[in-house]
Amino acid sequence: MTAYSFLQHLHSGFRYIVLALILAAIIGALIGWIGQKPYTNGIRKLNLFALISAHTQLLIGIVLYFVSPLVQFTSDTMKNPVSRYFTVEHWVMMIIAIVLITIGHSKSKKAATAEGKHKIIAILYFIALLIILVSIILIPRS
């Protein structure tokens, strides 16, 4: 197994952990926000684990970006949907999603009320999840 193949499988498989943690954080935040529940240490840790998993996936993706034959810097890159997706579109959408997750986590720590903490996690993690899902769905088939 080559380094590229290993990283590709790791990145592809790890996404399910990331998606599950983000979804769990969103559900926990919605339950807390709508049900006016306290912001517990368990919820804080879940949100943190979702953040850490997203950042870990980003690090794997950065290494994969530099070893992937699908990432190309040629005059035809933007004309080819596959190379354009992997060279430009995918990482840009993922960076936006991870920035939203990071901002959500940071703002939730600064929010004064439990309702505010739950609300910011629910909203920003949900928007990030939508961007991630759109990015995954848009993978062009060669």
Q: How do residues 81-127 score in pLDDT, each as one tens digit?
A: 999 999 999 999 999 999 999 999 999 999 999 999 999 999 999 99
Spatial CB neighbours of 17, under 8 Å, sequence gap ≥ 6: 53
Range 3-137: architecture per CATH: Up-down Bundle (1.20)
- Rounded-to-integer distance, Cα 120 and Cα 39, Å: 12
- Rounded-to-integer distance, Cα 15 and Cα 9, Å: 10
- Rounded-to-integer distance, Cα 67 and Cα 61, Å: 10
Q: Give residue 138's identity as a one-letter amino acid code.
A: L
Spatial CB neighbours of 109, under 8 Å, sequence gap ≥ 6: 117
Interhelix angle 114-137/41-67, rounded to 10 degrees, is 30
pLDDT averaged over every residue in the chain: 95
Which pTM was predicted?
A: 0.92
Q: How do residues 125-141 score in pLDDT, each as one tens digit?
A: 999 999 999 998 888 87
Q: Give residue 35's identity as a one-letter amino acid code.
A: G
End-to-end CA distance of the chain: 23
